[in-house]
Amino acid sequence: MPRQAEDTRAKGIEPMGSLCELSDQELLEGIRKASERHFNELYNRYFKRIYAFVHGRLRNHADAEEITQETFVSVFRSIENYRGQASLLSWIFGIAKNLSNNSIRRAQNQRQKFDSVEPEHFVPNPSLGACAPDDELHMQRYVQTIREQLESLAEWQRGVFEMRHFENLSIPEIARRTDRSNDAIRSSLYRIKRMMIESAELDGGGRNL
Q: What is the pTM of this model?
A: 0.51
- Is 177:169 a contact under the CB 8 Å cutoff? yes
pLDDT per residue rounded down to tens, the chain (209 residues) = 334 334 444 444 445 457 888 999 999 999 999 898 999 999 999 999 999 999 999 888 878 888 999 999 999 989 998 988 899 999 999 999 999 999 888 877 766 665 555 555 545 455 444 556 666 666 677 667 777 777 777 788 888 888 887 788 888 889 888 888 877 787 787 777 777 766 666 555 444 43
- Is 194:114 a contact under the CB 8 Å cutoff? yes
Residue type, 65: E
Contacts of 92 (CB under 8 A, 6+ apart): 46, 50, 71, 72, 75
Give the DSSP per-residue string, the chain. Answer: --HHHHHHHHTT---GGGGGGS-HHHHHHHHHTT-HHHHHHHHHHHHHHHHHHHHHHH--HHHHHHHHHHHHHHHHHTGGG--SSS-HHHHHHHHHHHHHHHHHHHHHHHHHHHHTS-GGGGS--GGG----HHHHHHHHHHHHHHHHHHHHS-HHHHHHHHHHHTS---HHHHHHHHT--HHHHHHHHHHHHHHHHHHHHHHSTTTT-
Dist CA 128 CA 91 (whole Å): 57
For the chain, which domains are there?
A: 3-114 (1.10.1740.10), 119-203 (1.10.10.10)
User: What pLDDT sits at residue 115?
Assistant: 58
User: What pLDDT sits at residue 117?
Assistant: 54
CA dist 142 → 46, 148, 188 (Å): 45, 10, 21
- Is 38:24 a contact under the CB 8 Å cutoff? no
